[in-house]
Amino acid sequence: MWNDLQPGQTLLQLSELGLAFVLSATIGLEREIRHKSAGLRTHTLVGFGAALFMLVSKYGFMNILDNNRVVVDPSRVAAQIVTGIGFIGGGLIFVRRTSVRGLTTAAIVWLTAAIGMACGAGLPVLALAATGGHFAIVLAFPYIARRLPSSRWTPSLLQVRYHDGEAILRDVLVKCTQHNFTVGSLEVKREEPIGQSTDDRIVMVALEIQGTGAVSKLVSKLAEIDGVISVNAGDVNVLTD
Q: What is the mean pLDDT of residues 70-90?
A: 73
Q: Helix 40-59 to helix 124-135 angle, to the nearest 10 degrees? A: 180
pLDDT-derived band at 239 (thresholds 50, 70, 90) equals: very low
Residues 174-200 pLDDT 10s: 888 888 888 878 888 887 655 555 556
Residue 117 has pLDDT above 90, yes or no: no
Higher pLDDT, residue 122 or 17: 17
Residue 72 has what pLDDT?
61
Highest mean pLDDT pick, 19-28, 57-66, 83-92, 206-215: 19-28
Q: What is the mean pLDDT of residues 74-82?
A: 73
Residue among 172, 31, 50 at smallest CA distance from 110: 50
Q: What percent of the chain has pLDDT over 70?
A: 78
Residue 100 has pLDDT above 80, yes or no: no
Q: Where are the domains of the chain?
A: 2-145, 156-235
Round the CA-based radius of gyration of the chain to a whole number and report it. Answer: 25
Residue 193 has what pLDDT?
59
Residue type at 220 in one-letter notation: S
pLDDT-derived band at 5 (thresholds 50, 70, 90) equals: low
CA–CA separation, 84 and 5 (whole Å): 29
Residues 197-230 pLDDT 10s: 555 678 889 888 887 777 778 888 898 888 888 8
Q: Is residue 99 within a helix (H) or strand (E), and if so which, with residue range?
A: strand 99-101
Q: Is 185 helix (H, G, I), strand (E, B) or coil?
A: strand
Residue 25 has what pLDDT?
92
Q: What is the mean pLDDT of residues 99-107?
A: 78
- The half-sphere exposure of 46 on its side-chain side, counting CA atoms within 13 A, is 16
Residue 240 has pLDDT above 50, yes or no: no
Residue 9 has pLDDT above 90, yes or no: no
Superfamily classification of domain 156-235: ACT domain (3.30.70.260)
Q: What is the mean pLDDT of residues 129-135?
A: 93
Residue 236 has what pLDDT?
46
Higher pLDDT, residue 193 or 58: 58
- Any bridge partners for residue 185, and if so which? 208
Q: What is the mean pLDDT of the chain?
A: 79
Range 190-199 contact pairs with CB under 8 angstroms and sequence separation of 24 or more:
190/164, 191/161, 199/165
Higher pLDDT, residue 171 or 37: 171
